[in-house]
Amino acid sequence: MDDIEAFWQRAQRHAELATVNSYMGESPMALLRPPAWAFGATPEQADELLALVIDGTKTSTSSALWDYEAEGEDLPTEGTLGIVTDGRGAPRALVVTSRVRTVPFDQVDEEHARAEGEGDRSLDHWRQVHEAFFTEHASHDRGFAPDMPVVLEDLRVIYSEPADAPR
C-alpha cells in the first residue's frame, strides 16, 4: 500500500467517512480515494501553504480557470474531497471543498484575500502575489489578464497529520 492510500485509510477512519447508519451498504465516500495534490508550484510553496491550511489560517485558495481548461480537469464542486501533500509528496491533510465560485481576477474581494491567509492578508498583497504566480506558472498559453477567470475555493480540513507522525 502506498503512502497516499495508507493516509486515505487513516483519514477515512478518523473522519468516519466509511460509516453509514442504515442497511444501504458501504458509503460511496469509502470507495474512491480522492485526488492527491499540492499547493503552489514548488516544494517550498507546497510546504508553506499546507502549513497555513493545517493551522487554520488558510481556508481558501484560488486557481486560474484557464489552467483547469488547459489540463482538461473538472472544476472542484462543493463536497469535493482532496488529499493535500507536502513539498515531498507526502500526504498531510484531507480537505473538503465547502464553496466554489468563479470571478474575474480584478473582482476578487478582500474577504477572499483574507481567507487565503498569505502575507499581510490584504487584497493588494493577494493581487500582487497571484498576478506573479498566474504569470509565471500558467499551464495555459493565454498569459495573465486582469479580467481572467479565477476559481475561488473554500476549504475545510477534515483530518491532518504532522510531518513526523508515525505511519
- Grid cell 504532522 is found at 162
By DSSP bridging, strand 36-37 and strand 81-85 are parallel
> Are the beta carbons of 92 and 47 closer than 8 angstroms?
no
Per-residue pLDDT band for 32 (boundaries 50, 70, 90) equals confident
- Tell me, yes or no, whether 14 lies in a domain: no
- The model's pLDDT over 89-133, given as tens digits with 9 standing for 90+, comes to 999 999 999 999 999 999 999 999 999 999 999 999 999 999 999
**Overall domain count for the chain:** 1
The whole-number average pLDDT for the span 128-149 is 90
- The yes-or-no verdict on residue 20 having pLDDT over 60 is no
Per-residue pLDDT band for 14 (boundaries 50, 70, 90) equals confident
- Tell me, yes or no, whether 15 lies in a domain: no
- Grid cell 489578464 is found at 145
Task: Write the DSSP symbol of residue 77.
Answer: -
From the CA atom positions of the chain, what is the Rg in Å? 17
| Helix, coil or strand: residue 78 | coil
Domain with 40 in it: what CATH number?
3.10.400.10
How many C-beta atoms lie closer than 10 Å to residue 44's C-beta?
A: 10
> Would you state the cell numbers that stand for residue 68, as one nine-digit string?
483547469
- The model's pLDDT over 42-100, given as tens digits with 9 standing for 90+, comes to 999 999 999 999 999 999 999 999 999 999 999 999 999 999 999 999 999 999 999 99
- Tell me, yes or no, whether 97 lies in a domain: yes
Tell me, what's the pLDDT at 62? Answer: 97
> Are the beta carbons of 158 and 79 closer than 8 angstroms?
no
